[in-house]
């Protein structure tokens, strides 16, 4: 490992023998408290709320910036709630196809009745649209397309 960071052998072992600084010990203790509050609140709290809880309710002395820094170094971030996206517009002027099944999904032979559906799936690249055609007799997928 010392060769990867180009440090002398004596420098590496001197670093390993060096005791932890008080600041590092305090940050490790603070990280334990941050994780406790963070997971008690279902990962919804960011640094302002965690600071408020630790500083005002539990009387810990630390700054909000320090909590934010410790959280950032350890990869802790509040989970952002996504707003519900409405994907159906029932008020339109387009023709509406009649319901031929009338919710009668009992089928006696294969490939006599097919049903379709479309769904939207959020990915890191954006929305993925998935359309599928199902055979109601076998409940198997006859075909599907993604875009």
Chunked into runs of 10 residues, the chain (147 residues) has average pLDDT values of 78 88 93 95 93 89 94 93 79 87 85 90 91 92 93
pLDDT value, residue 27 = 94
pLDDT value, residue 82 = 79
pLDDT value, residue 1 = 66
Q: In this structure, what DSSP letter does residue 93 have?
A: S
d(CA 125, CA 110): 38
What token pair was written down for 112? 């006599």
- 3-class DSSP state of 62: coil
What token pair was written down for 59? 């009387």
Greatest Cα pair distance, the chain, in angstroms, is 83
What token pair was written down for 135? 């055979």
- Cβ-proximal residues to 50 (8 Å cutoff; 6+ apart), any chain: 34, 37, 38, 67, 71
Contact 82, 103 (CB under 8 A): no
pLDDT value, residue 30 = 94
d(CA 71, CA 73): 6
pLDDT value, residue 96 = 86
pLDDT in tens, 49-83: 999 999 888 888 889 999 999 999 999 999 888 78
pLDDT value, residue 2 = 66
Domain locations along the chain: 13-73, 85-147
């Amino acid at each position: 490992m010392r060769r990867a960071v180009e440090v002398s052998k004596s420098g590496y072992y001197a670093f390993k023998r060096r005791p932890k600084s008080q600041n590092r010990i305090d940050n490790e203790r603070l990280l334990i408290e941050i994780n406790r509050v963070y997971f008690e609140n279902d990962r919804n709290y960011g640094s302002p709320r965690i600071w408020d809880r630790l500083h005002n309710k539990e009387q810990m002395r630390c700054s909000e910036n320090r909590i934010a820094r410790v959280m950032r170094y350890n990869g802790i971030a509040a989970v952002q709630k996504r707003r519900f996206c409405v994907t159906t517009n029932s008020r339109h002027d387009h023709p509406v196809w009649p319901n031929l099944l009338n919710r009668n999904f009992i089928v006696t032979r294969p490939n006599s009745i097919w049903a379709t559906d479309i769904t939207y799936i959020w990915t890191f690249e954006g929305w993925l649209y998935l359309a599928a055609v199902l055979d109601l007799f076998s409940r198997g997928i006859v075909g599907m397309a993604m875009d």
